[in-house]
Amino acid sequence: MTRTSPKLRVAAVQAAPVFLDLEGTLDKACHLIATAARRGAKLIVLPEAFVPAYPDWIWALPPSRSRAISELYAELVENAVTIPGPACDRLCQAAREARVYVVIGVNERNSEASGTSLYNTLLFIDPDGTLLIRHRKLVPTGAERLVWARGDGSTLRVLETPFGRLGGLICWENYMPLARYALYERGVQVHVASTWDRGEPWLSSLRHIAAEGRMFVIGCCQALHRDHIPDRLEFKRLYPPDRTWINVGDSTIVDPRGQVIAGPLREKEDILFAELDLAVATGARWMLDVAGHYSRPDVFQFAVRTAVPGSGESAAVPSSREAARRRALRVRSRPAARRKSVRRVRSRPAARRKSVRRARSRPAARRKSVRRARKPRRR
């Protein structure tokens, strides 16, 4: 009997936003989602910080230009996405109408607090239009720290989907070995690398990550032309006159052996498609499974801190493999006599073990009286 493996048609949308225009960018995003869905895509990926723009002025304006930076930041906050809110609802509706999974980068306002700080956030939406993951970038890179706050470990998650396990990281989070491993251990098979980066070093990294994790990697970037930035914005004049493409794009799709199967797209807005065979991701792990047979939990310890700061939750949650290893170590660290008694108790019938537990739960004086009562009388 021939086994059929799950197939998935994916789309990496390389496009520019309507710069610093929330409604205009949402219109464009919804149109692109519908277009990719009509061409057969079941998973549609849009770039990092697509709504309403990547704040590239942070690399052009020196910090001494504080007034210009403050004005741009205020405009970015004004056009950012609030979750829950109308902008998020529109993206969810687009996914629902197209019956597709959508992964899209947004500037998210911190609505749970001041409402004036921002996160670089990746949204994972299912075909029912439900927002399932809201992943906030753990570490903004360099000058990005002047715009975005840091995320936390609670959003390092992987989705179970009909075609396999879906996860993702934002831009240089993909250079964080432990962030990658957090997703590897959760069995990610299709990995989204939503980004602003491009060029040969980045493309080589996508190939390495795909081969390391034995998974498909969808690298999706904006293609931003100079003309996409409104003339009214002063920082536009700081780019060299011959720099027509602020970001060339380089969106790319890579297979689990590190081979490029689509792209890279360069210096144009377009949609990159690829057909993924999830059996390839599983089969590739027979030789290398970095969170499975190729890991050494007896040598290395790994845990993800999933608590939201200030929530009062537990600070660290070990991986399932690490938790099992710790339990084994606790048993091994007991004195020999204690371990034997544990084994003796475990070997008793269930009814006998219950009576032992009941006896141990009684006060000491009560236990002595029980022992005296059980002691045979001398004749």
At 347 the pLDDT is: 56
Q: What is the pLDDT of residue 331?
A: 45
Q: What is the pLDDT of residues 245-294, one digit of tens each?
A: 999 999 999 999 999 999 899 999 999 999 999 888 888 888 888 878 87
Q: Residue ranges per domain, the chain?
A: 7-286, 304-333, 335-379
| CATH number, domain 7-286 | 3.60.110.10
Q: What is the pTM of this model?
A: 0.80
pLDDT for res 244: 95
Query: pLDDT of 186-203, one tens digit each?
Result: 999 999 999 999 999 999
The residues of the chain scoring below 50 in pLDDT are 1-3, 312, 314-315, 326, 330-331, 333, 342, 345, 379
pLDDT given for residue 372 in this prediction: 57
Radius of gyration of the chain (CA): 27
What are the E-state strand segments in the chain? 7-14, 43-45, 101-109, 118-125, 131-136, 159-161, 164-170, 190-195, 216-221, 224-225, 245-247, 252-254, 260-262, 270-277, 303-304, 317-318
Q: According to the model, what pLDDT value does residue 311 have?
A: 52
Q: Which residues are catalytic?
A: 48, 137, 171
